[in-house]
């Protein structure tokens, strides 16, 4: 994946969040999605693959082997057309089989496509969970090694919860009150996305990133907020910067209307499948600022106002 025009200039610091009221004009390489390194297909531009039938068990195994090979050997992969489908059950089956093959220590969950903006951009019918692994969890400010990523560094500003209790599988759905009572703390966070498939939005034709751990690659958390329940989280605002240049803003209501609603959705998604969420795990509840793509050498900073800042530098 080649660098876009102006990459070297982009490594020079911009005005920074403390100078937001006096921002310089954006450099030519900076757009609404950060760097234009997401592939030839624009958001919402994917042409759905023709197949809608379910993958057979053998075909699920083939797709799992392709993604697993790309992940373990750290290179891009192409999914043959005959294995591309819009069948959501098959997508979830591949994602679960990949999770079962993963050897990393589990640290929680991330929710992909929790925001309607992202579901439209990627054409997905539902939010798409993925695992957070312990070796991919960092505290801000973080320096993220290149080995965590294959094709992309897709940055999302999110609110994450750390669980204080287990949420076991049960018949009765969890309510938002149940979820709130089981939270240890909330964190402002950056969730970083990647996939083995080239052309981020083009792969939405067959829900490529959803199969590939929901597009999850790394997680950077800010300072814990124990008294989060008294806050107006749907209107909690954040600004995101790339190399010091302001890119865009968002609010906590972007992901399902409220981060707590998103957390409750995750708990019930697990419950419906006979699975549990465990005390000490994190649940990152979905992007509040859409997508922002970066390159090695870039620094992304999310300014959550009174909740603090979360910073991630991508090492070459």
Buried b / exposed e over 165-178, threshold 16 CB at 10 Å, is eebeeeeeebeeee
In the block, residue with structure tokens 């018949």? 171
* Assigned token pair, 109: 């969950």
Q: What is the pTM of this model?
A: 0.91
Q: Rounded mean pLDDT of 66-73?
A: 97
User: pLDDT at position 115, please?
Assistant: 78
User: pLDDT at position 121, please?
Assistant: 79
Task: Delimit the domains of the chain by residue range.
Answer: 33-314
**Taking a C-beta distance cutoff of 8 angstroms, is the pair 206, 268 a contact?**
no
**Taking a C-beta distance cutoff of 8 angstroms, is the pair 131, 216 a contact?**
yes
Specify the DSSP element, H or E, that contains 254: none
Q: Please choose, from the candidates 213, 251, 219, 249, the residue with its C-alpha nearest in 3D space to the C-alpha of residue 234.
A: 251
CA distance 156 to 164: 24
User: pLDDT at position 276, please?
Assistant: 97
CA distance 94 to 98: 6
Backbone angles phi, psi at 108, to 5 degrees: 145, -155
**Taking a C-beta distance cutoff of 8 angstroms, is the pair 107, 132 a contact?**
yes
User: pLDDT at position 113, please?
Assistant: 84
Residue 18: pLDDT band with limits 50, 70, 90:
low
User: pLDDT at position 17, please?
Assistant: 60
**Taking a C-beta distance cutoff of 8 angstroms, is the pair 288, 307 a contact?**
no
pLDDT in tens, 133-143: 999 999 999 99
User: pLDDT at position 238, please?
Assistant: 98
User: pLDDT at position 285, please?
Assistant: 97
pLDDT in tens, 217-230: 999 999 999 999 99
Q: Please choose, from the candidates 182, 199, 174, 212, the residue with its C-alpha nearest in 3D space to the C-alpha of residue 281.
A: 182
CA distance 53 to 83: 10
pLDDT in tens, 74-117: 999 999 999 999 999 999 999 999 999 999 999 999 999 887 88
Domain 33-314, CATH = 3.90.850.10
């Amino acid at each position: 994946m080649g660098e876009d025009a102006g990459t070297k200039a982009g490594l020079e610091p911009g005005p920074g969040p403390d100078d937001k009221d006096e921002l310089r004009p954006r450099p030519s390489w900076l757009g609404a999605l950060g760097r234009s390194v997401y592939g030839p297909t624009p958001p919402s531009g994917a042409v759905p693959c023709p197949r809608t039938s379910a993958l057979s068990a053998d075909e699920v195994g083939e797709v799992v082997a392709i993604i697993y090979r790309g992940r373990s050997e750290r290179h891009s992969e192409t999914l043959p057309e005959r294995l591309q489908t819009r069948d959501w059950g098959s997508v979830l089956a591949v994602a679960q089989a990949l999770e079962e093959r993963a050897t990393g220590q589990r640290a929680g969950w991330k929710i992909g496509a929790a925001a309607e903006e992202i579901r439209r951009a990627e054409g997905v019918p539902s939010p798409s969970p993925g695992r957070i692994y312990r070796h991919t969890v960092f505290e801000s400010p973080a320096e993220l090694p290149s080995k965590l990523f294959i094709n992309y560094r897709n940055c999302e500003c999110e609110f994450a919860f750390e669980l204080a209790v287990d949420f076991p599988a049960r018949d009765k759905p969890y309510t938002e009150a149940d979820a709130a009572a089981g939270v240890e703390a909330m964190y402002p966070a950056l969730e970083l996305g990647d996939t083995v498939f080239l052309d981020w939005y083009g792969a939405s034709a067959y829900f490529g990133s959803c199969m590939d751990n929901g597009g999850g690659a790394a997680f950077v958390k800010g300072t814990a907020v124990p008294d989060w329940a008294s806050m107006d989280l749907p209107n909690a605002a954040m600004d995101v910067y790339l190399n010091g240049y302001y890119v865009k803003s968002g609010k906590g209501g972007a992901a399902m209307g409220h981060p707590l609603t998103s957390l409750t959705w995750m708990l019930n998604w697990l419950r419906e499948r006979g699975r549990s969420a465990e005390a000490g795990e994190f649940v990152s509840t979905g992007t509040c600022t859409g997508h922002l793509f970066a390159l090695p050498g870039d620094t992304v900073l999310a300014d959550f106002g009174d909740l603090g800042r979360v910073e991630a530098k991508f090492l070459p």
